[in-house]
């Protein structure tokens, strides 16, 4: 039977009670609760929406932000990332969320060299989080300042809304508000050549390996 986010939380609470009373071993607690958290999160953000952007479209310009190695706030535009370049832009629903932290971003960091070898000039992760959160997430993920993957803040959702990829989670118990739908796109000179758009919290077609297949 599928677990709702509320049921998952209640079950985790019961498990904690059993842990404290000694009826469950600590070694079995962590994997169980992590599984519950990932499952509950995916269900909590499950929804279907349609993007305004499609293959063949020119990307709208927008300004994104990040902290550089000197801890100075910097900005970069979509045009900077894509004009006269082959770029991969991928988006996540939120920093520090399970799938984004454990699979999506690490996959691109790991495969960045292979993507570069196939002619990709820039790789950027975009999230509707403020630049401070993205800075902390980058550190938590162990992504170095010399990494080929940029973690960029679309804090007000300007770019995300412009391409019609906003994901309204305001009615969900996780408290994310309006975020970005998960996707990965291949862009050449500002034009979308490939767009792998996920539904809700799914992660089936927007990973680094998926993009390697289309290069």
Region of 89 (left: φ > 0; alpha: ψ -120 to 50; beta: rest) is: beta
- Which has the closest alpha carbon to 123: 164, 91, 163? 91
Helix/strand/coil for 7: helix
Q: List, as one string, the DSSP characters of 110-160.
A: HHHHHHHHTT--EEEEEESS-HHHHHHHHHHHT--TT-SEEEEE-TT-HHH
Neighbours of 45 (CB within 10 A): 24
CA 47 to chain centroid: 16
Task: Give φ, ψ of 13 to 5 degrees.
Answer: -65, -45
- Helix H or strand E encompassing 66: strand 63-67
Residues labelled catalytic: 100
């Amino acid at each position: 039977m599928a677990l709702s986010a509320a049921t998952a939380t209640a079950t985790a609470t019961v498990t904690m009670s059993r842990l404290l009373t000694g009826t469950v071993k600590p070694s079995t607690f962590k994997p169980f609760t992590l599984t519950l958290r990932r499952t509950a999160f995916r269900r909590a953000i499950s929804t279907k929406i349609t993007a305004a952007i499609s293959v063949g479209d020119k990307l709208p310009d927008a300004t994104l932000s990040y902290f550089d190695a000197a801890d100075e706030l910097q900005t970069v535009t979509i045009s900077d990332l894509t004009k006269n370049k082959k770029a991969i832009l991928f988006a996540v629903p939120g920093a520090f969320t399970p799938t984004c932290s454990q699979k999506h971003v690490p996959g691109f960091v790991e495969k960045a060299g292979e993507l570069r070898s196939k002619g990709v000039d820039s790789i950027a992760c975009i999230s509707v989080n403020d630049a401070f959160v993205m800075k902390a997430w980058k550190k938590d993920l162990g992504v170095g300042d010399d990494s080929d993957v940029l973690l960029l803040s679309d804090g007000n959702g300007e770019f995300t809304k412009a391409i019609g990829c906003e994901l309204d989670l305001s009615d969900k118990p996780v408290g994310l508000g309006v975020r970005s739908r998960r996707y990965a796109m291949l862009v050449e000179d500002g034009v979308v050549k490939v767009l792998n758009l996920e539904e809700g919290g799914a992660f089936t077609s927007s990973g680094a390996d998926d993009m390697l297949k289309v290069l």
